[in-house]
Amino acid sequence: MTDKDLTSKSPWTTEAMQKRLKKRYRKETAFKAVGLSGLLIGLCALAILVISIFTTGLSGFKETRLTIDVYMDPAIIKAAPDLDEDARIAHMAKVNHRALIRNSLRLSFPDVKSRRDIMALQRLTSNGARDEVRQALIDDPTIIGKTIPMNLRASSTVDMYIKGQISRDVAQSSRKISDKQLVWLDKLNAEGRIVKGFNWIFLSSGDSREPELAGILGAAIGSLLTLLVTLVIAFPIGVATAIYLEEFAPRNKWTDIIEININNLAAVPSIIFGLLGLAIFLNVFNMPRSAPLVGGLTLALMTLPTIIITSRAAIRAVPPSIREAAIGMGASKIQTQLHHVLPLSLPGILTGTIIGMAQALGETAPLLMIGMVAFIVDVPEGILDAATALPVQIFLWADSAERGFMEKTSAAIIVLLLFLVLMNGLAIWMRHKFEKRW
Amino acid sequence: MENTSKAMIKARNVNVYYDDNHAIKNVDLDISSGTVTALIGPSGCGKSTFLRCINRMNDSIPSCRITGSITLDGQDIYDKTIDVVQLRARVGMVFQKPNPFPKSIYDNVAYGPRIHGFARNSAELDEIVFTSLQKSGLWDEVKDRLDTSGTALSGGQQQRLCIARTIAVNPEVILMDEPCSALDPIATAIIEELIEELRSRFAIVIVTHSMQQAARVSQKTAFFYLGEILEFGDTSEIFTNPKVEKTKDYITGRYG
């Protein structure tokens, strides 16, 4: 037999085998294509979401201001000359700022005569403009009697129009801004008296009925306080439970039942946890309604299964040889856990915890049940103050009839996403920091 | 078994069950200090199980049940008054796969003395780490990098680090469960030399699958077969003149 005979007889070189080989390649290519297209669809959806949120949301971080020459009329301010500082501030707060602005506007627009038109003229500015005049008076008493050019906050309608979200081609009856107001705005614009700037108030204040005065800080602090409570409650309990179940608990029917139930709890709809919080924390323990304390406790109940499950997986992933080594050295069970197993499983535990916290950050339903859905203007100062949370704030604004809240909704979503990205970044950083080889 | 009076560990009529599986049957064995006792036998014959009974490592297996008695210096180690944690420090163990802690070399050796409170200050701890590493023959290789991770060492060095870690807590007995099975011949030879050196200070029990290793390092050999000790005696005797047919078949490589 020659070498040639050998190769010609080999099953690897037959035509049937070549066909099978081609078929296998085809299958692999098809599988790759399916996977890749799935990935692309996902990426496209994500891109559309992000683009749509950012295109509507970014304008929410900007505001429109009108430069008005405000005449600080001593007749309206009626300041007594020799008041001490506190009394002066108290007096400045009581001044009829509204009249100051109205009179100044009338001076700028001398042709506007009728009472109705003057009201409409005043409505170009926001209610918040009064606060700005008041602050100017408090800051500098020497301006009384002078005419000061001030950048006053425009009303939401003007803001919308300037941002191009209200079209002047629409009939007057179906837009919120009247033809007269448009003429006045044109005049201001021609004089360069319309300025756009960063909307600091959005980042520094609580909710408001007026879109141009509404801010995210109250909700953000509410979320922060709520998450703090959640973390303080859920992390130690979750990790302790995981260690107990994984290392100490006897394997019997009871622990099996507990294990199955923990796994099931992770899949329970979050609103049920809200009902639980309502029934237990509010109705039985009479805790304050709408408080981050209750929200945090409720979210802790919801987050616990996630933390327990991920922590158990992380603990289980520690090689048994490390435990044997420690026990073989005469380390007690708790020493083995604290010195070896816990440090090695910490990256996994922290990742799981942060994923659980991120989930809690985005949760709305349970907070609705315990009253964190209320309209709250003040920024909460403690875990017992009434507060709302970022996702709830988004829900509230999305539900709001005012058109100006649309961009605020998207802007709030951007803030929420930013928080989530930060938390995930933290998770990745911690995993790298604590990761050890063995 | 002429020197039973000197024996540190006496196992009498030991039976081990995993649920219904009778893993160890009526084992009697004496382990004396200053001696290396080799446990040989085919896979699954119970030698590792028996080894792990001596420092109660089997306690963590819920299905495991032990009857009979094992005494250390006349004290029953399965007695309720015995502190398992202390027992495991007195009866140290070296495992099949080197398993240093993912900590520095220094911390690996210092771990035992630290948890048992052997050192009053850091100078004493340094001394313990130094002598332990020196006894295990690792000092010269690692003295300049005590703060590097123990897992960064080679396999043979890791195993010697594990031995150093074990002797740092001053055990009376060292149990070795196939300590060389994951190592190359050169590392194996170094460990075998080390066992020979350690013999004078500790009672050593070694489980091995290598007949040559058993012959080289041990003075006593016990041949396990299906959970029973078929033959126990001086290593030289067992390897040159086995009394039981099965032993002869095993050490000559008929099966195993």
Give the model confidence (pLDDT) of B64-96 as tens digits: 889 999 999 888 999 888 898 889 989 999 999
Convert the pLDDT of each residue in A54-86 to its tens digit: 998 898 899 999 999 999 988 888 877 777 888
The last residue of one of the domains, among A134, A165, A198, is A198
**DSSP reduced 3-state for A242:** helix
pLDDT reported for residue B40: 92
| A384 and A243 fall within a common domain | yes
Chain B positions in Cβ-Cβ contact with residue A335 (cut-off 8 Å):
115
| A136 and A109 fall within a common domain | yes
Subunit contact B99:A335, Cβ cutoff 8 A: no
Q: Name the pLDDT band for A5 (thresholds 50, 70, 90).
A: low
Q: Does the residue A209 lie in any domain?
A: no
Q: Does the residue A42 lie in any domain?
A: no
| A190 and A251 fall within a common domain | no
Q: Does the residue A11 lie in any domain?
A: no
| A232 and A378 fall within a common domain | yes
| A291 and A354 fall within a common domain | yes
Q: Does any CB of chain A come closer than 8 Å to the CB of residue B92? A: yes
Convert the pLDDT of each residue in A417-426 to its tens digit: 999 999 889 8
DSSP characters over B88-156: HHHEEEE-SS----SSBHHHHHHHHHHHHT--SSHHHHHHHHHHHHHHTT-HHHHTT-TTSBGGGS-HH
Q: Does the residue A94 lie in any domain?
A: yes
Angle at A270 between CA A265 and CA A271, to 5 degrees: 125
* B214 CA: distance to closest CA in chain A (Å): 23
Q: Does any CB of chain A come closer than 8 Å to the CB of residue B88? A: yes
Range of the domain at A225: 217-434
pLDDT reported for residue A435: 76
CATH of the domain at A240: 1.10.3720.10
Q: Does the residue A5 lie in any domain?
A: no
Q: Does the residue A50 lie in any domain?
A: no
Q: What is the DSSP-derived secondary structure letter of residue B244?
A: S
- Identify which of A218, A372, A232 has the alpha carbon closest to the alpha carbon of residue A288: A372
| A155 and A226 fall within a common domain | no
In the predicted structure, residue B63 carries a pLDDT above the cut 90:
no
Tally the domains of chain A. Answer: 2
Q: Which residues of A91-123 are buried (b: 16+ CB within 10 A; e: fewer)?
A: bbeebebeebbbbbbbebbeebeeeebbebbbb
| A225 and A328 fall within a common domain | yes
Chain B positions in Cβ-Cβ contact with residue A324 (cut-off 8 Å):
57, 93, 95, 99
Q: Does any CB of chain A come closer than 8 Å to the CB of residue B95? A: yes
Convert the pLDDT of each residue in A299-335 to its tens digit: 999 999 999 999 999 999 999 999 999 998 888 889 9
In the predicted structure, residue A104 carries a pLDDT above the cut 50:
yes
Domains by residue range for chain B, with CATH:
4-251 (3.40.50.300)
The last residue of one of the domains, among A149, A164, A198, is A198
Q: Does the residue A206 lie in any domain?
A: no
Count the Cβ atoms, other than its own, within 10 Å of residue A48.
10
Chain A positions in Cβ-Cβ contact with residue B95 (cut-off 8 Å):
321, 324-325, 328
Subunit contact B166:A332, Cβ cutoff 8 A: no
In the predicted structure, residue B256 carries a pLDDT above the cut 70:
no
| A182 and A228 fall within a common domain | no
Residue linked to tokens 């309608």: A157
pLDDT reported for residue B5: 45
Residue of B79 and A29 predicted with greater confidence? A29
| A235 and A166 fall within a common domain | no
| A154 and A77 fall within a common domain | yes
Residue of A324, A330, A344 with shortest CB distance to B102? A344
The last residue of one of the domains, among A167, A198, A229, is A198
| A127 and A262 fall within a common domain | no
Provide the percentage of residues in chain B whose pLDDT is more than 90.
56
| A129 and A172 fall within a common domain | yes
Q: Does any CB of chain B come closer than 8 Å to the CB of residue A256? A: no
Convert the pLDDT of each residue in B18-61 to its tens digit: 988 899 999 999 998 889 999 999 888 889 999 999 989 888 78
- Identify which of B232, B236, B200 has the alpha carbon closest to the alpha carbon of residue B218: B236
Q: Does the residue A300 lie in any domain?
A: yes
